[in-house]
Structure formats: C-alpha cells, structure tokens
C-alpha cells in the first residue's frame, strides 16, 4: 500500500490507524453485527489524536472514510461524487 509506505517513511504511523477493508467488505463472511462490534473496538482503542483511515470497496469502486474522533468528524471521499448512504 503506497500510502502506508509513505506514512512510515515520514515516521507518521502513530498519527493514523488503518482499518482492514477486507473485514468490512460486502463479500466478507462477517455479518453486520460483527462489523459493528469490530468498528466499535477500533473506535475505543484509537488514540484521540489518531485519524482512522477506512478504505471501502463497493462493486469494484473504492471510497475512503477518515474519522477524526478528537474533532467528532467523519470525512467521506468518493471520486464519483455520490453522497454516502
């Protein structure tokens, strides 16, 4: 992953928490309850100053959510311009 390698190179690993996109994929073996619990565990374990980087793939299209727990904000990036649902 190019982004992660650049973050490591700049010694910024402690600023970001990456979420495994395979766990949350629609095709994964995990049900909605397992996914919600996993996300809750991530949110509880993250340092308040970390940004959670959450890539998501839906039907061969990648999107990105960035969660800033310190500011209580979630940013959603989608190159197609669709609103999150």
Q: Is residue 2 domain-resident?
A: no
Question: Could you tell me if residue 6 is inside a domain?
Answer: no
Answer whether residue 59 is part of any domain: yes
Q: Is residue 26 part of a domain?
A: yes
Enter the pTM of the model: 0.75
The domain tally of the chain equals 1
* 84 within a domain of the structure (yes/no): no
In tens, the pLDDT along 6-43 reads 888 998 888 998 888 888 877 677 788 888 898 899 88
For 52, the domain range is 14-77
The string of DSSP letters for the chain reads -HHHHHHHHTT-GGGEEE--HHHHSTTSS--HHHHHHHHHHHHHHS-TTPEEEEEEEETTEEEEEEEETTTTEEEEE-TT-PPP-
Say if 38 falls within a structural domain.
Answer: yes
């Amino acid at each position: 992953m190019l982004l992660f390698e650049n973050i490591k190179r700049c010694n910024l690993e402690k600023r970001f928490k990456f979420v495994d996109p395979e766990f949350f994929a629609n095709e994964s073996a995990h049900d909605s309850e397992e996914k919600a619990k996993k996300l809750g565990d991530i949110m509880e374990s993250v340092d308040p100053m970390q940004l959670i980087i959450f890539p998501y793939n839906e039907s061969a299209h990648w999107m990105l959510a960035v969660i800033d727990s310190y500011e209580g904000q979630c940013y959603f990036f989608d190159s197609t311009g669709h609103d999150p649902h």
